[in-house]
Structure 1
Amino acid sequence: MKHLLNCLLALTVLYSPLTQAEVVRLKDIGKFAGWRDNPLVGYGLVTGLANTGDSPNNKATRQSIANVLSQFDVAVQPDDVLSRNAAAVMVSATLPPTAHEGDTLDVTVTSIGDARSLAGGSLLLAPLKGPNGKVYALAQGALSVGGYKYELNGSIAQKNHPTVGAIPGGATVEVGVQAKLLAADNSLLFTLSDADFTTAARVAAAINAEFGHTLAEPRDAEGIRIQLPSNTRLVDLLARVEKLRVEPDHRARVVVDERTGTVVSGGDVRIAKVVISHGDLKISIVTDNSVSQPILVRQTGPGVRTETVANSSVTVSERDETGLVSASTNTVADLIQALTRLKTHTRDIISILRAVKAAGALHAELLIQ
């Protein structure tokens, strides 16, 4: 009796009605327009390498070393410079939406020459510029390389990528930035990560209900225009809007990755009444190469030689039973669970989902990656 009760409870959970979508905060499903990171990039030199830097064939590295030395009144020709202990690198960092002078940034350093490893090196002072060509930060410091590469007599031992390094807090902000959120008409634009008209309408309704009068209006499926009241501070309005909770509306989707055989679907993606018949035919072709050697013939000549003989065998095997799955107003999760019980391979499940979509029984968008 207890076992029967457990089975009934399991069936109730398996075929329970659709659950309501989760209510989430606005800050988790979108952001304010203008609030974004700013990429920085620069060119520099890494020195102190143990004969693992750029080879003499890299003229840019030798020229860079000569240019650095010239700033300290050391005149040397690029052809007279040895570059095996140095490497030309590109330096990149990300400037947050709000940054003040003196803040530190994490830096990534990558080799652009033929250096074998950056382990043990140190980055010389390198300016980091934005897309407008303006210097916003300066980077310098010892590299942390999470890998190695050793080579001797053609044998190579390598872990990760030793030509990429990082400097935690290695850049100092010289020019601060402040994200511009307010438009000329003293309004803000809240953009959804996943554009949807229903979600945009719900967000506007939640904002208007929070402030007691109409401040927000959906502009399209992605953006909601919010008017800043004259007697309200910007930070206070942003904090109240970000903590509001709404129930986002999602479009039914089934995502299929053919390279890895992965199927991702929402648990409530519905399929219409459909019957699936799936068989399995396996063809195996094996070739056995053998050598025929003349044993009793002692003569030599152009007609007497060893001959290679290929023997091929073809085996066709078919599963005795054909998998039959009948789905009636179920979900994709139920269908996949039924196919799994039949020990259906993941790639066969992908083919079945394609066929169900072609038959018009899958009420969702099928995305093939």
Structure 2
Amino acid sequence: MLGAILVESEANELAPSVRLKDLAVVEGARSNQLTGIGLVVGLPGTGDRSGMAMRMIRNMAEQYGLSLGTREIRSRNVAAVTVTCNLPPFTREGQTVDVLVSTLGDAKSLDGGVLLQTPLKAANGNVYAVAQGPVTTGGFAAGGAATQVSKNITTTGRIPGGAIVERDVPMEYASDSKLSLLLRQPDFTTAQRLALSINNKFGQIAVPLDAARVEVAFPPAYAQYPASFVASLEQLEVRPDSVARVVVNERTGTVVMGGNVKISAVAVTHGNLTVAVAEAPQVVQPEPFAGGQTAVVPRTEVAVEEQQGRVISMPATATVTELVDALNSIGATPRDVITILQAINEAGALHGELVVM
């Protein structure tokens, strides 16, 4: 497994300024999830064998005045699917959005299929969009009775611009000449800095309510132009703060450490013990005409290799960069770093949050 060690900036004062629009969103300006169930037709024999798709075909035919019996519907060219999409904020009637199409039954592939008109509903049961169009999967699946070849996932596909918005979603982001900004990563210090940046530009109009919310009043000059005011807010520069955190992924050997993580005085030693066990059975045959039987004699070879551990000493208030440099000096791999960090955290010398994924 390949591993990686990523180190963020060394100190908070070196952290770059970020646009407000990249740190926070306006409360009320949110996306909405839409879902529907439909039929994909025109598949080259890769559709459903389940009765669900057949019942959907019969129900659709009845809407057009056709009456079909169960025995009349024998097709592997259709598939029952779920159709989902996210309706972005401020999307208006007549605009189009992308949709995701996924199989419900045992269809093998949606490649080459066409989604029939499918209404998309929100959680309140109202229809806000209608989806239809050819499905693109970005892969293929082909085979016969003995083997099958596939590339990428063909049971899920997309229809770019496949849904037409039929109803506007009400968006109210300003009330009583105020709006609220919600931080993407809640933090009291960042919320305070965000409010200070707004106040330095427009006067005393912003108040941090908690780690995630900053309330902003409209200046008199923007009372009738809320959209222009939000656009001006989005361009303000803010220097964010973050919690001292170390994130490790044991499956991939990835370690991400913030530059504000401090290490107390600690000594670290780490050695590797490798044990290799190999089976090499030997076949023993009797002499000719001896009347014996051929036998297999088990032979096991065990090899043990222990690498000599080295000791490093970290001074108090050591930074994460100094820790990484010291660990690299003793030849520690990313997986070694993960084990060492967990041990340092257990010893109480790691001043920050250790997150193991």
* TM-score under structure 1 length normalisation: 0.88
Pairing 1:260–2:222 present: no
| TM-aligned CA distance change 1:193 to 1:68, over 3 Å | same
Map of 1:140 onto structure 2: 132
Q: How many residues align?
A: 345
Secondary structure at 2:115 match in 1: strand
Secondary structure of the residue that 1:99 maps to in structure 2? coil
| CA distance in 2: counterparts of 1:18 and 1:121, whole angstroms | 53
Tell whether 2:330 aligns with 1:330: no
CA contact (8 A) 1:286 1:314 kept: yes
Matched, 1:275 2:267: yes
**1:356 corresponding residue in structure 2:** 344
Residue 11 of structure 2 contacts residue 259 of structure 2 at CA under 8 Å; is this kept in 1? no
CA deviation map 1:233-275 (0-9, x unaligned) = 2112212221111211111111111111111112342222222
> What is the alpha-carbon distance in structure 2 between the residues aligned to residue 281 and residue 118 of structure 1?
51
Structure 1 contact 62–79 (Cα < 8 Å) conserved: no
Among candidates 32, 39, 45, match of residue 39 of structure 2: 45
Q: Which has the larger radius of gyration?
A: 1
Is contact 2:274-2:305 (8 Å) kept? yes
CA distance in 2 between partners of 1:295 and 1:340 (Å)? 59
What is the correspondence of 1:98-109 to structure 2 with a 5 Å cutoff? Answer: 98-109=90-101
Assess if the C-alpha contact under 8 Å between 2:12 and 2:241 holds in 1: no
Partner SS for 1:128:
strand
d(CA) in 1 for partners of 2:94 and 2:11? 56
From 304, 308, 331, the equivalent of 1:343 is 331
Measure, in 1, the Cα distance between the counterparts of 2:355 and 2:160.
39
Question: In the TM superposition, what is the alpha-carbon distance from 1:31 to its structure 2 partner?
Answer: 0.8
Partner Cα distance (1:18, 1:251) in 2: 10
Structure 1 position 88, deviation (Å)? 0.8
C-alpha RMSD of matched pairs (Å) = 2.0
1:342 positional shift: 2.3
Deviations 1:201-225 (CA, angstroms, capped at 9, x unpaired): 111222222112x221111111111
SS in 2 for 1:69: helix
The separation in 1 between residues aligned to 2:110 and 2:76, in whole angstroms, is 11
Q: Is the 8 A contact 1:285 1:313 kept in 2?
A: yes
CA distance in 2 between partners of 1:190 and 1:289 (Å)? 71
Aligned partner of 1:12 in structure 2 is none
1 or 2 for the larger relative contact order (CA 8 Å, sep ≥6)? 2
Cα displacement (A) at 1:298: 5.3
| Aligned partner letter, 1:253 | R
Give ranges in structure 1 of 5+ residues lacking alignment.
Answer: 1-15
1:30 to 24, 28, 44: 24
Asked if the contact 2:202/2:219 (under 8 Å) is kept, the reply is no
Instruction: Tell me which amino acid in the other structure corresponds to 1:29.
Output: L
Following the alignment from structure 1 to structure 2, what is the Cα–Cα distance between the partners of residues 64 and 159?
29
Aligned to 1:176: 168
In structure 1, give the amino acid aligned to 2:295: E
Deviates more, 1:328-337 or 1:123-132: 328-337
Whether 2:220 is the aligned partner of 1:239: answer: no
Report sequence identity in percent: 42
1:84-99 alignment to 2 at 5 Å? Answer: 84-99=76-91
- Paired residue secondary structure (1:295): coil
Matched, 1:114 2:131: no
Deviations 1:65-101 (A, max 9, x none): 1122222222112332122111111111111111111
Alpha-carbon distance in 2 for matches of 1:322, 1:61: 64
What is the Cα deviation at residue 326 of structure 1? 2.2
Q: 2: distance between equivalents of 1:159 and 1:359? A: 48
